Each structure stands twice: as C-alpha cells, then as structure tokens.
Amino acid sequence: MLESRPEDRDLDERLDELIPLSAGPIKTLVASAAVVGAAIASTVLIMGGYLYPRPTFGSSFSSGSFLEVGPARNAVSATVMMPNNSSRSVRITDIAFDGPGADVVDVGVILDPPYETQTSDVGVESSVATPILPRNQAAMPLPIVVPAGRTATVVVWFRPTDCIDKPGPWGLVDATVDFGDGAFPPFSNTVSLHQDPVAFIDLDGNADNGGESMMMQDADGSMREISGPLAGACEALR
Amino acid sequence: MMKRIIDAAARRRWPLTVLAFITILGPFVVARPDGEGTNIAAVVLVLAAIALIFLLAVNLSGRDPDADARALEVAPDSLSAVLFARWMRRSKHFRFVGGLCGAILGLGFATGSLASPLVGLLAGVAFGGAAAEVHSFQGRPRSARSADITARHMGDYVTPTDTVALAVIAAAAMCLMVVAVTTGAGRWGSFWPAMAALVAVAAATAMQRAVVVRRRPALSDDLRRADDVMRRLAATQGFTRPAIAFALVMLSQGLATFGNSTTVTVAVLALWMLAIAWYVASRQSRANLRALIGS
C-alpha cells in the first residue's frame, strides 16, 4: 500500500485531514456488513408489507366474471378482487371507482372465507364448500380489515348515466388501505387495481372479460350474455 | 493462490456478485415439482451461497488491490499518488456498499422487472459516493491549527458537461412536474419520478459546493494541487455522475407514463442509454481518471 515518506512527520497528519485512512479491513467489514444487513432487513419488511400496506404485491388477481342486478333493481354491481398477499392485516378505508358513464351508488367488500379443508374417512382431503350469498347480503361497508392471506372482493354498485360503452378499459378501482387506527407505522397506501378493469371494451363496443364474454345475473338468478357493462346495465334496470 | 482469488473477487466485484446471486436463485427457478434433481440443486445452492458470502466479505472489507497502481499511473508525483489511492479506495468502497444496499432495497419495490433494482443501484452508488465525502464535515480539533484561505470556485472542479447536464435535467424535471399537475390524474405517475430527479440534481449540486468549499489546512504547493485534483474527482466521478445517471433514469420513468408511442419509447430508451453512459463515465477506469486529472 502506498504511504507517505517516514521522514515527513506532519505528512500523515496532513493527509488524514484531507482524507482519513481506512479503518482497517475488519472494522470496515463489520461496519459495511451492518449497513447491508440493515438494507436486507428493510427489504424483508417492505416485501412483507410491514412498513407500509401493499397487499397486492407480487400477486395476480382478476375481476368478477359477471355483473349482478340488485334485488330492488335500482343498481347493478361489479366486482374486483384484492388479495392481501402481505404478511400483515390491512384495512380498506376507501374505494374509488373509475367507470365512465356510471354513477357509483354504493361500495362494499366481501371478505372471502379462509380456505378450509376436510378429510374424509378414507383420508381424502377436499375443500369445504361455503355458501355463496348475494352480493348485497354478503358485502360489508367500509372500513373493513382484510387479514393476511385472505382475499377481499370489492363490490361497486352503480347506475348507468350513459347506455353506450366506449372503447377501452372500464371499471378501474383504487383501494386506499392502512394498518388501522393507532397502528404503527401510520402509513396509508392507494392500491391501484388498474391492471384489472371490470371489462375491456373493444372498438365495436363489446366487452371482453378476460377472454370470456361478459355475463349479467338478474335478480331472479338467471344469467344472460351482455355486450358491455353500460348497455347491459341499462337493459337490466329498464 | 488465496491472495489471487481474493484479488480476483475484489476486481470483478459486480459481475461475480450478480452471478452468485443468480446461481442462488437458479435452483428455485428450475426446480421440478417431482423433486428430481433436488440434490444437485441443493449442492449448487450451498456452493453459490458460500461464494456469495466470500465475495461480499472480500468487498465489504474495502479491498481494492489496484488502487495503488491506478493512482501511480495517473498521479503527477508520489505524494499525489498517496492521496489519490486513499480517495479511490474510500470512494469505491462507499459506492459499492451504497449500490449494493440500493439494489437490495430496489428488489423490495420490484414489480416483476429489473428497473427497480437498477434504479436502486444507481441511487445507492450516488448516495455512497456522496457519503464518502462526509468525513470532511466531521469536526477535527487538530485541523484548526492552520487554514488555506485560497478562494475556490465551482468551475475549477466541476466539468461543464456535468453542469449543463444537471441544468437540463432540472429543467426537464420541472416541465414534467408542471405537465403532471396541469393535466390531472392520468399524468400523476410522472410527477414523483420527476420530483426524484429534481431532488437528485439539487442534492448533487449542494454536495458539489460542500466538497469545493470544505476547509483545507495550510499545505505545500504539491499537496494543495493534489487536494484540488482529489476534490475534482470527488465532485465529478464520486457522486455527481451517478446522480446524473439516476436522475436520467427517473426522467425516463416519468416519461414512460405518457404511453407506448414510438416517440415516447425512443425518448425513454435514449434516456436509459445516456444514464448508462454517465454511469460508465463515473467509474474509476484509467481512461476516466486520466481525462479528469489531465483536464
């Protein structure tokens, strides 16, 4: 290693004032490893959703496959899934719905039941069926806590103000989430479910719901195909 | 033999670290559900993990076997070489630690692409390069005995290209922010990257000034000249150029929200290319060092 001439007593001191000599490999290693360790710990906390709510990180999810007419025929509901894949419970405090040509009447959240299995007498494991309730009965008002590992289904009731579906994505949802009152850290986050609109409308005004045609469930439980969410809603509420 | 292995690990720190990391991830990616080949994967995993720990230990200890040779090659005299070697070791080590931390933190924010770890790496390198200069702000009672009161100016230490780049990036970032605010919801995605670019420019400029005007004891002419060159290296290669690279990438992230048109795609690619060029210019290669020390 290059060092100053031994005959110059002040030189080392002068150099040290300009730029300090390295602390030595062991001290440097320990200090640097501590910094990198802190970065790793922070990353683990971030990825686990402990530092700020990020329930949908690293997950794929989908919209509900059909619209549903409310029992009083005053609104139509659409759904978007929001899985909580983080390691911490999050609370949904607000939902913003971007669906041109529709007025939002109400929003709610259905907390999907935890996955349960049962083992038969012969040792075969199967999932436990849970009853499916109509959306207006199952959906709960905001705010609602979504435990880690569970999936929330965001339900938006709307009334159409226009009956013509325009090309492009329709039914984009932003969910505002936090850790709850008094929780630490007190950060909130807006989770965009933008990659998952309720429907994509093609240039002919037809809905493409993930490669499938779009369906409408009427108040009596019957299903029928619709061309788009606005046209279908207008027809159903007429 | 061992010394040669350690020196090789220090010389090729980034490629070897990335290779070891990918090798560790490999068995998880190619693992077959039927469990076949699990033993081989486990052996590869353990060997790669040992290699990664060894690489990190060597490089986190601040080893830089070529610093003296590089300093001797570019320094005009032996005294300058001593000073340069110290700065090179310190700056390179801080940049590596900063870059590694940035890339790790970037992984936490990654959403399926490499952009986030790369952005983190650039930000970390810039931050580490700036942190390497922070020693000068620590109080040292001994330094009060004498002082050099020669007037120093930014223009003597900072290259015109970097100054123009910082100004252009600041102007572009402000334009993006104005567009984001005035056009509403659809463009908000460009606001925060533009803000990050502006903050990077402001921090780099403030740090440049801090390095240029920091105190200096009364020195011999030789040592003062060497210190001037060291300040020039710090204010350009140390943190300014990585900060410019980071700011350019943030501008590209902001522009990317304007859609997938050919113009936008070309602009985003051009900004990434420029960022890579500025990062390469910030490395302690002999050519880069000669260009700065000779100027």
What would the pLDDT profile of B199-222 be if each residue is shown by its tens digit? 999 999 999 999 998 888 877 888
Q: Nearest 5°: CA angle at B241, between B240 and B242? A: 95
**DSSP character at residue A218:** -
CB contact (8 A) between residue A39 and residue B109 = no
Strands A214-217 and A102-111, by their bridges, are unpaired
pTM for this entry:
0.80
Q: Are A77 and A135 in contact (CB under 8 A)?
A: yes
- Both structure tokens of B203: 């921090």
Residue that the structure tokens 């700020």 belong to: A52
CB contact (8 A) between residue B61 and residue A2 = no
In terms of pLDDT, which residue wins out, B39 or A101? A101
**The pLDDT value given to residue B218:** 78
| Chain B touched by A47 (CB under 8 Å) | yes
Nearest CA in chain B to A41: B105
**The pLDDT value given to residue A176:** 93
Distance of CA A201 to the CA centre of its chain: 23
Nearest CA in chain A to B54: A29
**The pLDDT value given to residue A6:** 46
CB contact (8 A) between residue A2 and residue B142 = no
- Both structure tokens of B213: 């005007």
Q: Provide the sign of the torsion angle of the four alpha carbons B196, B199, B200, B201, taken in this order.
A: positive
Give the lowest-confidence range in A45-59, B8-22, B82-96. B8-22
CA dist., res. B255 & res. B261, Å (int) = 11
- Count CA within 13 A, CB hemisphere, residue A82: 32
Instruction: Give one DSSP letter per residue of B203-262, joined into a string.
Output: HHHHHHHHHHHS------HHHHHHHHHHHHHIIIIITHHHHHHHHHHHHHHHHHTT-S-H
Chain B positions touching A168 (Cβ under 8 A) are: none
Residue B48: which pLDDT band, with cuts at 50, 70 and 90? confident
Q: Are A205 and A227 in contact (CB under 8 A)?
A: yes
CB contact (8 A) between residue A29 and residue B62 = yes
Nearest CA in chain A to B83: A15
CA dist., res. B189 & res. B257, Å (int) = 6
Q: What is the domain partition of chain B in residue ranges?
A: 1-63, 65-137+149-294
Please, what is the end-to-end C-alpha distance for chain B in angstroms?
40
Q: Is B125 left (phi over 0), alpha (psi -120 to 50) or beta?
A: alpha
Give the lowest-confidence range in A204-218, B18-32, B45-59, B193-207. B18-32
Q: For residue A116, report the phi and psi dihedrals to the nearest 5 degrees.
A: -125, 145
Q: Is the peptide bond before A71 cis (omega within 30 degrees of 0)?
A: no
Residue that the structure tokens 């460009």 belong to: B190
- A78 sits in which H/E element: strand A76-83
- How many Å lie between the alpha carbon of B198 and the closest alpha carbon of chain A? 23
Residue B126: strand, helix, or coil? helix
Residue numbers of B between 22 and 81 with CB closer than 8 Å to A: 56-57, 60-63, 68, 71-72, 78-79, 81
Residue A108: strand, helix, or coil? strand
CA dist., res. B220 & res. B77, Å (int) = 13
Query: Which of A19, A28, A33 has the CB atom closest to B86's CB atom?
Result: A19
- How many Å lie between the alpha carbon of B121 and the closest alpha carbon of chain A? 12
* pLDDT in single tens digits along all 238 residues of chain A: 555 454 455 777 778 888 888 888 999 999 999 999 999 999 999 989 999 998 988 766 666 668 888 877 788 999 888 889 899 999 999 999 988 899 999 999 998 877 666 677 777 777 666 656 666 667 888 899 999 989 898 999 999 999 988 888 888 888 999 999 988 899 999 888 766 788 888 877 777 766 677 888 887 888 888 888 899 899 888 8
Partners of A117 in beta bridges? A127
User: Nearest-CA neighbor of A177 among A195, A194, A193, A190?
Assistant: A190
Burial (Cβ within 10 Å: 0-12, 13-18, ≥19) of residue B214: middle
Q: Is B112 left (phi over 0), alpha (psi -120 to 50) or beta?
A: left
- ipTM here: 0.85
**The pLDDT value given to residue A132:** 62
- A117 sits in which H/E element: strand A117-119
Chain B positions touching A11 (Cβ under 8 A) are: 79
Residue B30: which pLDDT band, with cuts at 50, 70 and 90? low
CA dist., res. A134 & res. A111, Å (int) = 13
CB contact (8 A) between residue B140 and residue A17 = yes
- How many Å lie between the alpha carbon of A44 and the closest alpha carbon of chain B? 7
Query: Which of A4, A21, A43 has the CB atom closest to B104's CB atom?
Result: A43
- Count CA within 13 A, CB hemisphere, residue B45: 13
CA dist., res. B92 & res. A23, Å (int) = 15
CB contact (8 A) between residue A2 and residue B60 = no
CB contact (8 A) between residue A2 and residue B78 = yes
Q: Nearest 5°: CA angle at A87, between A84 and A88? A: 80
Count of CB atoms situated within 10 Å of the CB of B137: 9
Partners of A207 in beta bridges? A201
Instruction: Give one DSSP letter per residue of A140-163, joined into a string.
Output: BPSSEEE-TT-EEEEEEEEEES--
User: Nearest-CA neighbor of B232 among B87, B36, B40, B106?
Assistant: B87
User: Nearest-CA neighbor of A107 among A97, A99, A115, A119?
Assistant: A97
CB contact (8 A) between residue B61 and residue A32 = yes
CB contact (8 A) between residue B60 and residue A14 = no
Please, what is the end-to-end C-alpha distance for chain A in angstroms?
87
Mean pLDDT to the nearest integer, B20-26: 74
| Chain B touched by A39 (CB under 8 Å) | yes
**pLDDT tens per residue across span B157-201:** 999 999 999 999 999 999 999 988 888 655 677 899 999 999 999
| Chain B touched by A203 (CB under 8 Å) | no
CA dist., res. B235 & res. B163, Å (int) = 11
